[in-house]
Structure 1
Amino acid sequence: MHTHRIVSIIDDDESVRIATSRLVRSLGWDVRLYASAEDFLDCGQISDVACIISDVQMPGMTGLEMQQRLLDGGVALPIIFISAFASEIVRSQALGDGALCVLSKPVDAVAMSRCLETL
């Protein structure tokens, strides 16, 4: 098990952030919520995060762009992407760049649990 118990949830839809945070907390994790990839990257608290759960499509920086920015900065955090429109191209890019999982919205609790159990 990972030594840090913090999952950062990044989604521009507040209702999705809240629902996902309830699910992740019920699985025993602490959570931090962010309305955008930019907010997360600017938070100054990335080093203690065990995993990121991020929407793919968001205004401004997308989840995939955030993933690339982290990788370019030498930060390879596990990322679980969630998307209402996860095409095979998006799925392949995310997983190819090291994402842990790509899940469809609405998020299945069992699938999310399985992804987090791999940490």
Structure 2
Amino acid sequence: MSFQLQVSEIEKAREIAHCTLRTIDFREEQEKLNVWIALLNLENVYGTDESLELTFKDAACHNNSIHLRLAAILDQSEKFQRAEEQFKKTGKKFGQSSKVWTLFSEFYFQRDEAEQAVSYL
């Protein structure tokens, strides 16, 4: 994927990711997660909002931890509004998880929005 992106072959990189996901054994959950994360990063940088959303929905069917990963990807790429929306969706889906709320509050604290952060603790 990395090589294909270096030579601006974005569609080829997508094909490689999807092929890899089909061939990795289902027991290799961490390896599949790594490919999903790479694919989300690819869609975030080179794709559209729709392609990112479709990729996320596909990834979420296979791995629950991808929800927080997408929020982190959006945060790192300074798409703060979308990251906040993703944290809210994740909080609704996994409301019992302290990790979700801790990371969501951390997201607000990093932006000096302490009042928002405290409201989610």
Q: How high is the TM-score relative to the length of structure 2?
A: 0.35
Structure 1 length-normalised TM: 0.35
Comparing both structures, which one devotes a greater share of its residues to strand? 1
Q: Which has the larger radius of gyration?
A: 2
